[in-house]
Structure 1
Amino acid sequence: MISTAFLLSSLVVIIAPGPDAALILRLAFGSRGRAAPLAAAAGMITAGALQATVSVLGVSLLLTADSGLFRALQWVGAALLCYWGVRAAVGALRHPPAGPAARAAAPEPADRRRAYLKGLACTGTNPKVGLFLLAFLPQFIPPGQPPVRSLAVLCAVYLTLGTLWLVALTEATTRLATLLERRAPATRRPLLRWLDLGLGLAFIAFGIRLALGS
C-alpha cells in the first residue's frame, strides 16, 4: 500500500528546481517542438531507473563505503555540469543581440539523440541520486513487508511520478515557447540569450554544490 505521505514527499522532492528541470527548460525554448526535451526526459528517466536498480541491489552502499569511487563519480558529475554552464554562459555573452531578422529566426531542429544523451548524463553522473533513493525510500516500507520488493515498488512509483512531472514540464514550457514565437518572434533570440546566461550560471552553481558534497 502506497501511503499519501510517500506520494506528497516524493512530489515535493521531484518538483524542486535542479539541473534536470534547467536542461528541459533550455531545450524547450531552444529547439522546435517537444522532441528534444522529451528525449532528454527519457534519458533522465533511464538514468533514474539505473540508479534505482543500483539502490535496490545495495550497490550504492558500496559506493558509500568506497569514498574514493564516490568522490570520483561526484567530481565527474560536477565537472560536466560546470562545463555545460560555462559553455552556455560564454555563448550567451559572446553573441551580441542580433538584428530583427536574426531575432525572428526559427528554432533549431530537434536532435533527439544528443538530447537523450544529455539527459542521461545529467542524471546518471550524479551518484547522490542513488544514495538519496536509498536513504529516502526505506522509511516508507510498510512494516512486515519484504524490504527488497517494497523498495522496488517504491522506486517504480517514484520514477513514474518523475516521468509525469518531466512530461508536464515539457508540455508547459514548449507551449509557452510556441506562444512567444507566434506572438512576439522578435523576443525569442534575446530571451534565449538571457536564458542561456541564467541557466549557465545555474548549472555552474549545481556543479559546485555537487563537488562540495552539499
Structure 2
Amino acid sequence: MDLIGSLPAFLLAVLLISASPGPAMALIFRRAALRGFRSAVGTVLGLEAGLYIWAIAAGAGLTALVAASETAYLVLRLAGAAFLVYLGIRSWIAVFRGGVEAPVPAGDPGGRSFARAVGEGVVVQLANPKAAIFMFAFYPQFIPENWPLLSTTAVLALVQVTVETALYLALAASVARAGAWFRKAKIRRRIEAITGTVLIALGLRVAVSSQ
C-alpha cells in the first residue's frame, strides 16, 4: 500500500467523520446563525487548529500516553465536559435574558468576537480526549509501512483539515445567508435553547463515557 492508494479511503472516512453531528457542528451552526459568517470562520479555524495539534501529537506518540494513562484521560475528559457544559449554560442564560441583549449585527465586524471564536474552537477540540485517542487509532491505518510516522501524519492531517475547513465553511455560509431570520428575537432564543441543550448533553456524555 502506498499513500496515494490509501487517499480515497482516507478522504471517504474524513467526509463521514466531518458530517457526524457533534460539538463542532453545534458551535459552527450557532456562531453562523447568531453572529454571522466571519465569526463562524473563527470557530472553524479554531476547531481545525486543535485537530491539527492532536494529529501531530498522535504522530509524535503523545496521544498514546493519554490513552494509556487513566489519570490523564480522566482530567482531559472532565475538562472537556466542563467546557461544553459551560458553553451550554451560557446559551441558556441568553435564553432567560430574552430580549435584554442587543441583537448582534450581521457579520460581527469586531475583532474581539473573532478571536473569542477561534479560542473557543481550539479549547473545545483540545479538551476532547476522544479526539486524541481517535487520531492515535485512525491515522496509522493509512500510513504505509516504513514511512515516517510523524511527517506522514502531518500530511494526512493537513488533508483532513483542508477537507473539513471547506465543508464547515460551506455550512457556515449557508446558515449565515439566513442570518437576518435567525437573529429575530424569538428564533434567536430557540437556537440558543437548542444548542445549549445539545452542548450540555454532549458534555455530560463526555463526562460519563469511558475510553
TM-score by length of 2: 0.86
Say if 2:59 and 2:149, in contact at 8 Å, map to a contact too. no
Relative to structure 1, the CA distance from residue 106 to residue 199 in structure 2 (aligned partners, 3 Å threshold; closer, same or farther) is closer
Partner amino acid, structure 2, of 1:9: A
Within 2, Cα distance between the matches of 1:62 and 1:37?
A: 33
Residues 155-199 of structure 1: CA deviation (Å, up to 9, x unaligned):
221121111122111111111224x37xxxxx7111110000000
Q: Which of 166, 190, 193 pairs up with 1:194?
A: 190
What's the CA shift for 1:91? 2.6
Q: For residue 69 of structure 1, what is the aligned residue in structure 2?
A: 72
Q: Can you give the 5+ residue segments of structure 2 that lack an aligned partner in the other structure?
A: none
Distance 1:165 1:81, change over 3 A: same
Residue among 78, 84, 88 paired with 1:85? 88
The match for 1:205 is 201
Please tell me the residue identity of whatever aligns with 2:17.
V
Q: Which amino acid aligns with 1:207?
A: G
**Higher CA-based Rg:** 1
CA RMSD of aligned residues (A): 2.2
With 146-155 and 66-75 compared, the bigger mean Cα shift is at 146-155
Length, aligned pairs only: 202
Is there any run of 5+ residues in structure 1 with no aligned partner, and where?
A: 182-186
User: Could you report, residue by residue, the CA deviation over 1:67-121 in whole angstroms, capped at 9, with x for unpaired residues?
Assistant: 10111011000001011112212331x23468xxx99x56373411111111111
Whole-Å Cα distance in 1 between the matches of residues 186 and 16 of structure 2? 32
Q: Which residue of 1 aligns with 2:123?
A: 121
Residue 14 (structure 1) aligned with residue 12 (structure 2): no
Alignment of 1:151-170 (within 5 A): 151-170=153-172
**Which residue pairs with 1:107 in the alignment?**
105
- Percent of aligned positions that are identical: 30
2:35 is the alignment partner of 1:39: no
Distance 2:193 2:78 in 1: 23
Match of 2:174 in 1: 172
Q: Does the 8 A contact of 2:44 with 2:168 survive in 1? A: yes
Alignment partner for residue 24 of structure 1, among 13, 28, 37? 28
- The code of the aligned residue for 1:211 comes to A
CA distance in 1, matches of 2:104, 2:93: 22
